[in-house]
């Protein structure tokens, strides 16, 4: 690759200057409250409605609460690093932009490509999840969705997933303020449903269901799975496959990590935030603290209401089933409606995050410049938003939820690792930069963040790792054929060289 420096960096000053160009300027409309609502809105989704019961039944037992705590701790360590980065470099693009300023263009491309995996595939998966809950809500009514159009597994196409993606795309093109207002209304409804679940469930808790809180480790019922089906750490160290016990709790944390995806979307909105140096850290840390508490509370209520051994791991709506088990059938319908509403806003925010990352990459020349066009009336990156909508609609219309979940988790964990490393590098290379927020004990926090995220990654299956590596290899091919030569930094180097 001639004339290419893999680790050339884009200066912080240049990144900020680019945001002031009229053709690329985004409107600053968001407050700290908007960001907290965005964060809560994107995190509370499929995890609280699905994974709480499934992971309790298959991996953690009542200690699913500890699994959520471990996953939340990994997110908190990364969040502290994200907060410093976002306050220092208030530019669209999140971890991509941060990496470009610290670790170089190649690493920035890798993390940008990785964020495409997190946001686009995540939005697609949750659009499919929305479709499933909508089918449950409409079943038996005149509006029941025909099986051929309800999902791509048993039918021809997942039409509800495509429709919700199209509607979300229109809202995003309409402006960040419109998106924020829609999100605030939906999040209020979703939080009300979660609160009702907690309050109504407390009266039906049987403390005996929490004993033993951490079930003894036991062999898996099917230990014949090969490399693709077993956690990578099991294959590396030749351990016998097992569930429950400490290993089960950690493996559960790796799975429920999917429930936390998206809080880093808050960092992608830095360029559209008023006083981002103050408001972005508040938005990131505030939203994460709220949802971690809610996840732990819900997991304790559900495992207290129903013995984890009685939970069906194949049940797509274990939260609703737990209330049916104690005779509260009306709660089942309420939870299904709440899930539909909640997943709608998660799809919206993940798509917003993807459009902002791709917008930043296009502005830097790593993707076609046309993707960086901003709508003259709405002030939104409408070209890349529409492109994202088409991609998400295509994936969600024809790919199942299960195919995508673990892949999103490993991509997110990998992004957290790079951000944790990058914040330390920036402290060393640019100590002169003003930092409105500084990660406390940055070396300790970043090191713990890297170790914990890598450990959780190792607890995902070999098949997940294989698909992830194939995706990243494809990204390197795209970079070599396009971005390496057409980035603005590469063009500037050629100009200087004459």
**What are the residue boundaries of the structural domains of the chain, listed by start?**
12-491
Tokens of 231: 């956690």
**Which residues neighbour 468 within 8 Å (Cβ) at sequence distance 6 or greater?**
117, 407, 410, 411, 414
Tokens of 147: 């099986």
What does the pLDDT read at residue 225? 58
Confidence of residue 409 (pLDDT cuts 50, 70, 90): confident
8 Å CB contact between 37 and 180: yes
8 Å CB contact between 337 and 137: yes
**Chain centre to alpha carbon of residue 373:** 25
Tokens of 451: 């170790």
Q: Which CATH number fits the domain 12-491, given the four candidates 3.90.700.10, 3.40.640.10, 1.20.1740.10, 1.20.58.220?
A: 1.20.1740.10
8 Å CB contact between 370 and 383: yes
483 or 11, greater pLDDT = 483
Q: How far apart are CA 406 and CA 78, in angstroms?
A: 19
What does the pLDDT read at residue 2? 40
Q: Which of 383, 322, 396, 361 is nearest to 164 (CA)?
A: 396
Q: What is the mean pLDDT of the chain?
A: 82
Confidence of residue 184 (pLDDT cuts 50, 70, 90): confident
**Which residues neighbour 315 within 8 Å (Cβ) at sequence distance 6 or greater?**
53, 54, 321
Confidence of residue 4 (pLDDT cuts 50, 70, 90): very low
Query: Please, is 267 exposed, middle or buried when counting C-beta atoms within 10 Å of its C-beta (0-12, 13-18, 19+)?
Result: buried
**Which residues neighbour 274 within 8 Å (Cβ) at sequence distance 6 or greater?**
28, 29, 30, 31
What does the pLDDT read at residue 27? 60
Query: Distances in Å between the alpha carbon of 38 and those of 157, 185, 342, 352?
Result: 30, 11, 12, 10
């Amino acid at each position: 690759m001639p004339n290419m420096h893999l680790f050339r960096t884009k200066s912080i000053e240049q990144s900020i200057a680019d945001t002031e160009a009229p053709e690329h300027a985004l409107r600053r409309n968001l407050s700290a409250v908007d960001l907290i609502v965005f964060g809560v809105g994107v995190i509370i989704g499929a995890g609280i409605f699905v994974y709480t019961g499934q992971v309790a039944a298959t991996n953690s037992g009542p200690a699913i609460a500890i699994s959520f705590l471990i996953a939340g701790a990994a997110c908190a360590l990364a969040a502290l690093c994200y907060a410093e980065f976002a306050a220092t470099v208030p530019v669209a693009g999140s971890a991509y932009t941060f990496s470009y300023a610290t670790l170089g263009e190649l690493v920035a491309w890798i993390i940008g490509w990785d964020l495409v995996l997190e946001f686009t595939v995540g939005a697609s998966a949750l659009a499919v999840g929305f479709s499933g809950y909508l089918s449950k809500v409409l079943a038996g009514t005149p509006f029941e969705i025909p099986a051929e159009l309800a999902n791509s597994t048993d039918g021809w196409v997942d039409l509800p997933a495509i429709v919700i993606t199209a509607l979300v795309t229109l809202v995003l093109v309409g402006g960040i303020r419109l998106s924020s207002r829609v999100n605030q209304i939906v999040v209020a409804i979703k939080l009300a449903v979660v609160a009702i679940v907690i309050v109504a469930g407390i009266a039906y808790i049987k403390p005996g269901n929490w004993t033993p809180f951490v079930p003894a480790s036991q062999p898996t019922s099917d230990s014949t799975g090969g490399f693709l089906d077993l956690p990578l750490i099991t294959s590396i160290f030749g351990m016998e496959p097992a569930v429950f016990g400490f290993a089960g709790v950690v493996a559960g944390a790796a799975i429920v990590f999917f429930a936390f995806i998206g809080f880093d979307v808050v960092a992608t909105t830095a360029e559209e935030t008023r006083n981002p140096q103050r408001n972005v850290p508040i938005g990131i840390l505030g939203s994460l603290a709220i949802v971690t508490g809610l996840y732990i509370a819900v997991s304790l209520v559900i495992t207290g209401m129903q013995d984890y051994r009685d939970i069906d791991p194949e049940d797509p709506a274990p939260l609703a089933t737990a209330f049916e088990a104690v005779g509260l059938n009306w709660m089942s319908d309420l939870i299904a409606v709440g899930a539909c509403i909640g997943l709608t806003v998660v799809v919206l925010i993940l798509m917003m995050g993807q459009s902002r990352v791709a917008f930043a990459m296009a502005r830097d020349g790593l993707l076609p410049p046309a993707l960086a066009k901003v709508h003259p009336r709405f002030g939104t990156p409408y070209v890349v938003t529409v492109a994202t909508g088409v991609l998400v609609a295509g994936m969600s219309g024809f790919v199942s939820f299960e195919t995508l979940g673990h892949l999103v988790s490993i991509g997110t964990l990998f992004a957290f690792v790079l951000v944790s490393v990058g914040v330390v590098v920036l402290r060393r290379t640019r100590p002169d930069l003003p930092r409105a927020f500084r990660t406390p004990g940055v070396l300790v926090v970043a090191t713990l963040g890297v170790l914990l995220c890598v450990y959780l990654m190792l607890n995902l299956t070999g098949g997940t790792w294989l698909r992830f590596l194939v995706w990243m290899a494809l990204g390197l091919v795209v970079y070599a054929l396009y971005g390496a030569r057409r980035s603005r930094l590469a063009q500037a180097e050629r100009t200087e060289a004459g």
